[in-house]
Amino acid sequence: MPAKVEIKGVKQTRKALRQFAPDLNKELNTELKRALAPIAKKARGYAPANSPMSGWSKGSPVEGGFPAYSFAVIKSGIGFSTKPGKTTRSGFTSNAKIFNRSYAGAIYEVAGRKNEQGQPWVGSKAGGASKKVSRSVNPRAGAQFIENLPELVNSSKGRGRLIYRAWAADQGKANGAAIKAIDTAERAFLQRAKSETFRRAS
C-alpha cells in the first residue's frame, strides 16, 4: 500500500556506472539526492502534527488492525532512495524514488482516490477478513473519514496529499534535474569509454 514516486531510466546505464565508473556513479547519486531531498522535506511538512480526527490518533483503540495516526511515524516514513529498483519487462528500472513507507501515511496520502465515499460498509458483524471494506458500526464512517482530510492534489505521478502534493508543487524541477543528472553521467561515461579501457571496479 505505501505510495511512491519513481524516476525511471535504463538499467544498463546504472549497472555500467557502478562496475566501471564508480566516481561517476557517486556524482550521479549526489545529484539525485540534491534533486529529491527538497521534495521529501516538503512532503513531510504537509503531514499535520495532530490527527485530522480525534479517533485516529496514537494511543487510540485501533479496530481491525487499522493503523493509528502518528505524526512521528508518518514523518519518518517519508524519504527517498537513489538505489536502482527492479527492472520492468521493457528493460527500464527505477533510478530513484521518493516513498511514503508507513501505512498510516499511505492512508493519509491516498484515501478517497479510488472511492470518494470510502470503503464499502459491511458492518461490525460481517464475516471475512478483507481490509477493503469498512466494519465500523457507523455506515458513513468511510465518507466522514475522507471528509475530514484535505483535498487530493493532482500531479504528473498521481493524486495525493503528501509526496504527490509535493511533487505537484515542485512543477517538474526535480524530475528535470534527475533526468539531466542521469544524462550527464551517461554522456561522461560514453566519452570516457572512447579514450580508455575499463576494468571492473572491485
Q: Between 14 and 102, whose confidence is greater?
A: 102
Distance, CA of 99 to CA of 40 (rounded, Å): 8
* Average model confidence (pLDDT) across the chain: 85
Position of cell 479496530?
63
Q: Domain check: are 61 and 155 in the same one?
A: yes
Q: Provide the H-helix boundaries in the chain.
A: 11-20, 22-46, 71-77, 103-110, 141-147, 163-170, 173-195
Q: Domain check: are 144 and 57 in the same one?
A: no
Inter-CA distances, 51 with 33, 73, 98, 181, 198, Å: 30, 12, 23, 38, 55
Distance, CA of 153 to CA of 151 (rounded, Å): 6
Q: Domain check: are 168 and 97 in the same one?
A: yes
What confidence score (pLDDT) does residue 57 get? Answer: 76
Q: Domain check: are 141 and 85 in the same one?
A: no
Distance, CA of 55 to CA of 33 (rounded, Å): 37
What confidence score (pLDDT) does residue 202 get? Answer: 45
Residue 46, C-beta contacts closer than 8 angstroms, at least 6 positions apart: 161, 162, 165, 166
Q: Domain check: are 101 and 121 in the same one?
A: no
Confidence bin at 61 (pLDDT 50/70/90):
very low
Q: Domain check: are 58 and 82 in the same one?
A: yes
- Answer whether residue 178 is part of any domain: yes
DSSP lists the bridge partners of residue 93 as 9, 87
DSSP lists the bridge partners of residue 190 as none
- Answer whether residue 174 is part of any domain: yes
Confidence bin at 119 (pLDDT 50/70/90):
confident
Q: Domain check: are 42 and 139 in the same one?
A: no
Span 162-183, mean pLDDT?
94
Q: Domain check: are 185 and 131 in the same one?
A: no
In the predicted structure, residue 82 carries a pLDDT above the cut 80:
yes
Q: Rounded to 5 degrees, what are φ and ψ at 161?
A: -120, -10
- Answer whether residue 139 is part of any domain: yes
First to last CA, the chain: 37
Indicate the pTM of the whole model. Answer: 0.82
Q: Domain check: are 22 and 120 in the same one?
A: no
What confidence score (pLDDT) does residue 139 get? Answer: 75
- Answer whether residue 202 is part of any domain: no
All three cell numbers of 76, joined, read 519518518
Q: Between 32 and 116, whose confidence is greater?
A: 32
What confidence score (pLDDT) does residue 28 get? Answer: 94
Q: Are 70 and 59 in contact, with CB atoms under 8 Å apart?
A: no
Q: How far is CA 43 from the centre of its chain?
A: 10
Which has the minimum average pLDDT: 48-52, 92-96, 178-182? Answer: 92-96
Expressed as residue numbers, the domain containing 66 is: 3-108+151-195
